[in-house]
Amino acid sequence: MCTMEPMIPLKRKDGVGTGNRSIVHRVTPTIVVKRVCDKGFWEGIPEESYDNGEHPFARELAFYKALNSRQDRCPEIVACFLALPDYFFLSYCELNRLDLRYFERQEREVRPSGLHGRLIRVTGYEDIGLVARWVIQVTSALAYVEKMGFCHNDIAPRNCLLDRHLNLRLCDFDRATTFGQPVEGVVGPWARKLIAGPLKGSYGLCSARTEQFATGTLVYYMVYGCEPYEDELGPTEYDSLREVGRRFSRLEFPDLNRNAVLDKFISSCWHEVFPNMALTAYYIKRAAKDIALEPHVEEVDCGKGRRDCERLIRDGLLGSELALSFQPAWRRYLHFFVAGARAVWERLVCLLGRSCRMAVADHPPSSPPSQPSQQSDDTPPS
């Protein structure tokens, strides 16, 4: 007789990535689940240190709900099949994060924790045709995000994933906000601190200006293999970041000399030439069409993905409580009826047992009459 294997809980599934406050598990060949970290997973990070204590997924949940309510789809954004308050079911990108690919072409110091440390030198560069394709794809994704009324606010190599055909997919919208919100959580070279005007000393309000500036730094990373000035500044990380921020705030950018088309685009983004991300994407798509490699894109079936996710939840991936909430209505009603009937039955048994004990206490059984003692056969008669 064939028996169904029990569902392995999510926390025991293979981990394929981590974020600031999240862990990503692979649950099927095509689906991963992003969940909130357990308390204490990252030592030294206080509970209130992330976005003023709001739920780590609050912004990303709002973005994905808006995304999944739309009729059109953007293939350059990682598909979200199902968004729950503590869990996101996302399409799996086999080749992982963009920055991990670039680490293979960098020589870096190794920190005591085993993580990558200061850059020593870049040992190789990515193919320009592939880079051009990635630039077209990421700007297309950002134009779509803009059309939705959002800013990503955390454009970086770690938030770009690669599928098995080396197509770039934008991910991680935990800092996404609507236009006009203060820019938070970023520093140079990913944002430029304003040195004049009413917002002097801040990074301004999120808009096409801030999005294209970060895009320029991302494209620089793709073309030159590291962040701006990362290969020039000293070993002290804090002082290096402060110096990069100072240079960028004064529009002092590194030399650009690797590819005329992409170099011009980087400079245009850093100088905030484009009025919106739609024109940013349109410009680079036309300018790089002769050098960009043709993409091979497989369409993601979001409907099937959602059904698969709901089946995983029903089978117990996220625990019994959520499994029940995804059952058909008749089964939920049956569960509540059986649970209610069982509670009533247990209550009746308890009351019956109590009544019996009280009856015994009020009317104790009478002692049996004493029997006359029998004489032993060996005792002589008197």
Answer whether residue 380 is part of any domain: no
Query: Which tens digit of pLDDT belongs to each residue from 315-339?
Result: 989 988 888 887 765 455 555 556 5
Answer whether residue 181 is part of any domain: yes
Total count of domains within the chain:
1
Answer whether residue 21 is part of any domain: no
Residue 23's beta-bridge partner residues?
18, 35
Answer whether residue 30 is part of any domain: no
pLDDT values of the chain reduced to their tens digit, one per residue, 382 residues: 344 455 666 776 777 888 778 899 999 999 999 998 865 544 444 444 445 568 889 999 999 999 999 999 899 999 999 999 999 999 999 999 999 999 999 998 888 877 778 889 999 999 999 999 999 999 999 999 999 999 999 999 999 999 999 999 999 999 999 999 999 888 899 999 999 999 999 999 999 999 999 999 999 999 999 999 988 876 666 667 889 999 999 999 999 999 999 999 999 999 999 999 999 999 999 999 999 999 998 889 999 999 999 999 999 899 888 888 877 654 555 555 565 667 666 777 777 777 677 666 666 666 555 555 555 455 555 4
Query: What's the domain range around 211?
Result: 94-299
pLDDT value for 1: 39
Answer whether residue 225 is part of any domain: yes
| pTM exceeds 0.85, yes or no | no
Answer whether residue 371 is part of any domain: no
Answer whether residue 257 is part of any domain: yes
CATH of the domain at 150: 1.10.510.10
Answer whether residue 143 is part of any domain: yes
